Homo-oligomer: A and B are copies of this chain.
Amino acid sequence: MAIGEELRSSHFWRGVLAELVATLIFVGVVLGASAAPGPLAPALAGGLVVGGLVCSLGGPQANPALTVALLCTRKLSALRGAAGVLAQCTGATLASAAARAALQDDTGLVTRVSAVGTAGTALAWETFATFQLSLVAFSIPELTAPQAGLALGSAVAAGALAAGPFSGGSMNPARSLGPAIVTGVWDDHWVFWLGPVLGAVLAGVTYEFLLAPGASREKLGA
């Protein structure tokens, strides 16, 4: 049985473990940097840690939206995708619990819809920011190594700076789920799942069928 074989392979479990560790590191760094005033520190910290992780660990997406988009474009098995998302949410929750223990005021951890905007505005910006991030992520398999970390880290920081004033610039459902679980603040939480997943799937489809070298409509039947 294919599923049984996959579950017994050490490659499978090492990949899932890398997802957990990478998401724990990403969410921990972003939440720690969010304790500083101003929007620059968390945005730059997020971009920098992603750049470092891509260069060193290579594979992990550390982002359920990217994992779902890879599933939709048939680049990942369903089992690997589901285990990856579960590992990402576990890593994010562990990091959020650690961050909460360290902070007296934990309201800064949760990504929220800006007071000057609506949930629709936040949804649009989360979709847009994740779209540009995922466009880069989809082109990564065709990139050489130093370029991949540079490109993905830059896109994470740019997206966080762009969407930050409207929605906190999450672009990552796990990064929003962890703090919601440990603080119990679930206001507009759907925005941070729907927006990133929509943006990532849209980017996957745009890249595969329009922009990729050799993109074509025939791919739909592959």
Contacts and interface: CB of A to CB of B under 8 A. Distances in A.
Interface string A112-126: 000011000100110
A79 to B, nearest CB: 21
Given A29-B159, A57-B211, A162-B32, A144 B143 contact: no
A191 interface: no
A52 B210 contact: no
A132 interface: yes
B36 A161 contact: yes
Contact of A55 (B98, B138, B150, B206): B150
A201 interface: no
Interface in A19-73: 21, 25, 28-33, 35-36, 38-45, 47-49, 51-53, 55-57
A16 B68 CA distance: 29
B121 A162 contact: no
Contacts of A215: 14
B151 A56 contact: yes
Contact of A162 (B28, B51, B143, B151): B28
Interface-central residue, A14, A98, A102, A165, by most chain B CB under 10 Å: A102
Contact of A32 (B18, B102, B166): B166
Nearest to A13: B210
Contacts of A18: 211
Given A28-B128, A102-B166, 10 more contacts: A14-B210, A17-B210, A29-B162, A32-B129, A32-B162, A39-B41, A45-B161, A55-B150, A56-B139, A101-B121
Interface of A: 14, 17-18, 21, 25, 28-33, 35-36, 38-45, 47-49, 51-53, 55-57, 98, 101-104, 116-117, 121, 124-125, 128-129, 131-132, 135-136, 138-140, 143-147, 149-155, 157-159, 161-166, 206, 210-211, 215
26 contacts: A17-B211, A21-B206, A25-B131, A25-B135, A29-B132, A29-B158, A29-B159, A29-B161, A32-B162, A33-B161, A33-B165, A35-B166, A36-B40, A36-B164, A36-B165, A49-B154, A51-B151, A52-B152, A52-B155, A55-B139, A56-B139, A101-B121, A102-B125, A102-B166, A103-B116, A149-B154
